[in-house]
Structure formats: C-alpha cells, structure tokens
Amino acid sequence: MEDNTPTDATRFTVLLVDDEVFILNSLKRLLRSQPYDLLLAESGEQALELLASHPVDLVVSDARMPSMDGATLLAEIYRRHPQTIRILLTGYTDMPTLIKAINEGRIYRYLSKPWDDAELLSTLEQSLAHLHSERERQRLEKVTRQQKAALEQLNATLEKRVESRTAELQQTADMLDLAYAELKRSYVVSTEVFSLLVNQRLPQGKQTNQALNELVRACCNAGLVESSLEHDLIMAAALYNVGKLGWSDSMLARPSDLMHHHERDTFRAYPETSESLLMSLEPMQDAARLIRHHQERWDGSGFPDHLKGSAIPQGSRLLKLAVDFVELQRGLVLERNMNRDEALMFIRKYAGRLYDPDMIEPFVQVCASYLTDITLADPRVRGLGTRDLEGGMVLARNLNADNGMLLLNAGKALTPVLVEKLIAFEAMEGARYTVFVRVAETA
C-alpha cells in the first residue's frame, strides 16, 4: 500500500476570507511560516473571483460578513469547487448558520473566535492531509476503472487465448477486489479521523471516541452483529456524538443524569441532530440511521422514536451497550465514574429494560477478552454491598475509597471483623461501595 502522507515538498494554496483586515493580517502572520501559499479576500465576492482564477486547496472564511455571509460563501464554493476544503471561523454561536454551513457548504470543520493558534494550525494540517488522502483515493479509483476497462476489453478476445491467460486474469481480478475493498475502507478511516476532531471538544477525562471505536471493532470481530452491518456500525461509533458539537463546554462535561431541565430537550435531540448532519453524505446514510436509534430502549422508553424490542436496529442495540459502557466510566451518565466491572453490573441490572437481554452476556465476554481487568466474566465473582459481605469471601479486585486510597488488596480474605470495619468506614465517608468478591461454587 502506498503512503498517502503529504511530503515536505507538497505546497497547498490557502484562501483566508474576512471583512476585517486586522484579522486577515493576524492569520497571515500565523501561517507565513507554514508551507502554504496564502491568498487574502475581504469579502465573499472577492473570494469567488480569486477562486475563479487560482487553484485553491482550502478556504477559511469568517461567518459574519456584510453582503455575503460565510455560510452562503462556503455553499457557493461547494457548488463551484467541491474539492476545496471549507472551514468556517465564527465568533458567535449561531446554530442556524452552523447547520446551513454544514448542510449546504459541507464544511470540514468550524473554529471559534478568538481561535487557539495551535488548534488552528493542527486543524489546517489535518484538513490538508485529508485532502491529500482524498486526491490519492480518487487517483486509485481512476486507475481501478482504467484497469477494469482494460480487463473488459481483454475479455472480448478471451476465447482465442483462454487457456494461456486464465491464471493471469484471475490474479488481476483479485487485485481489483483488493483495490475496491481498500476504497471502501477509506470511508471508515475518514470517519475515524473526523471523530478525533469531535473528541477535541471534550475534556481529557471525558473523551469517549477512541475507546468506543476500539470496543465496537472488537464486538464486530467477535460476531455480535451480522457481518453486513460492521462497516456502518464502525462509522456510527466514530460519529455517534457529532450532534453534540453545538453544545456548551459545561453541558458537554455534565452527566446526563444531572442535566438541568432546560438542557434535557437538547440532550434528547442529539441523535436526530447527528443523523441530520450525516444524511446528506450518501455513504453515511445507513450509519446515520444506526446513530438515530442508539438511545432507544428495549422497553420502548427511549428516544427519539420510542422503538421497542427487536424493532430497534441490531446495530443500534449494540451501539447503545458500547456507548453506555464507555460513558459510565467517563462520568457522562451518572455523577461518579464507574470502574469497568461496575459499568457491566449496571448493564446487567437493566437487561430487558434498557438493553437487548440476548446481547448482554456476549458483550460481557467481549469486554473480558478485550480488557484485562474485567472480573465479572468469572461466574464466581459477585459485586456486593458491604452489608451483604460475609466472612470467608475473597476480594476479586482491589477496593479503593472514592478518593483513590487503596483500602484492601485483591486476594484478601474477609473476616467478620473486617466486614464490620468496612460498613463503619462507608457510613463515616457517606459513600456506597461495591465490593467484588469471589464466592465458592455450590455443589
């Protein structure tokens, strides 16, 4: 496989558009040390004139400009020059403008004013790397079409040379299949690259996308969904929370269980928002449908459509399991961060209410294989409250206080006195601990 990373010799042309000259000068100073040829425009009309006479790889446009705003400009650029990467620079939160820029201008990313220099430089670098990769993909696709056309022409005269050419033709066909498979995989790679940009909106300890991508891939490899769903499910896992991009930073980091009343409608709308942002991209339409329904619940109490049981798409059922498992550990569902075993206990508890009951145990087994510190896969392990503990039970994993202090090591045998001390400590701390113990098998 060829390396699609741009070389040091690659130069790109970047067009900066803003009606405020000092903003243009600030951007010019920031980018002058980069390997870019810069063009400047003070209006949408001037930008379109430059695009008509210069090949431009990427446009960074201000959102609010007189005569022609940034969303309208980027939509027009998409119509005339669809291969040009488009980035919106906005100094205010305006969801209609942002949605227009995404749906009509098909923007790659939007950034807020005042911008962070490092983030802006990183965004441009990633955007242009994506552009380079897309051009390489198109080149390979053209080569593939040419090879296919040559193969069809060869087939017209195949009867005369069938015996001598059969092996060579089979090899060529295999290579074409591999090329098509690689092209299909590139769509998945692109969504995972974009998911990293979505992840940047979240605080470090709240980021979910990478862990979710890896877990969903493990579930697909284990056969938890039909093979025909794997491609769309992996893309859905990468972009399930794209509808949260318009949220405030405080809302992004707040557990859904603690959201204010006025925030709950926004939270419940994010699967539909995610779907609407992706539906205009034809290769993403099936993945967008999985995202729309990943907050449906097995008992019909979910959203947005209150689907129930097997009416919920299979991929959406698995995506909900994986999203909740990861978000419970990041403190995005409840006020505290659960460990992995506690998250699985929560999922088991709500089997048949929130989750497909037939998926629970296969999902637990995947987690146990994929994550080394899962203990609940062992049928002898139980998660108990302190008042349910008995002497003779053995800790299956370390017990830590809420502040992180180690209370007891895994392997410690409990005594009645030790159980009483744990109960007293729990009461003193005002906490509620789940203790994972290994119990003896009954005859």
pTM of the predicted structure, to 2 decimals: 0.51
For residues 401 and 266, which has the higher predicted lDDT (pLDDT)?
266
pLDDT digits (tens, 9 = 90+) for 86-132: 998 887 666 676 677 676 667 788 888 888 999 999 999 998 988 88
153 pLDDT exceeds 70? Answer: yes
Flag whether pLDDT at 2 surpasses 50. no
Give the SS3 label for residue 442.
Answer: coil
How many CB atoms are closer than 10 A to CB 245? 19
CA–CA separation, 305 and 243 (whole Å): 17
pLDDT, residue 355, reads: 97
Q: Is 407 or 304 the better-scoring residue by pLDDT?
A: 304
- The CATH number of 381-438, from 3.40.50.2300, 3.40.50.620, 3.40.50.2000, 3.90.105.10, is 3.90.105.10
Question: To which CATH superfamily is domain 12-126 assigned?
Answer: Response regulator (3.40.50.2300)
- Domain 202-376 superfamily per CATH: Hypothetical protein af1432 (1.10.3210.10)
Give residue 91's pLDDT: 75
Q: Give tens-digit pLDDT for 179-227.
A: 545 545 555 666 666 666 666 777 777 888 888 988 998 999 899 999 8
Q: What is the percent of the chain with per-residue pLDDT over 90, rounded to a whole number?
A: 41
pLDDT of residue 443: 43
341: tokens are: 């075993």
pLDDT higher than 60, residue 4: no
Q: What is the DSSP letter of 67?
A: S
Residue 240: exposure state from Cβ atoms within 10 A (0-12, 13-18, ≥19): buried
Mean pLDDT of the chain: 84
* Total count of residues recorded for the chain: 443
- Whether the CB-CB separation of 389 and 422 falls below 8 Å is answered with yes
- pLDDT bin (cut points 50, 70, 90) of residue 352 is very high
CA distance 129 to 94: 28
Q: What residues does each domain of the chain span?
A: 12-126, 202-376, 381-438
**Inter-residue long-range contacts of 346-353, CB under 8 Å, 24+ positions, other chains counted:** 347/321, 348/376, 352/298, 352/299, 353/297, 353/298, 353/299, 353/301
**To the nearest 10°, the Cα dihedral for 338, 344, 348, 352?**
90
* Residue 47, both tokens: 């930008």
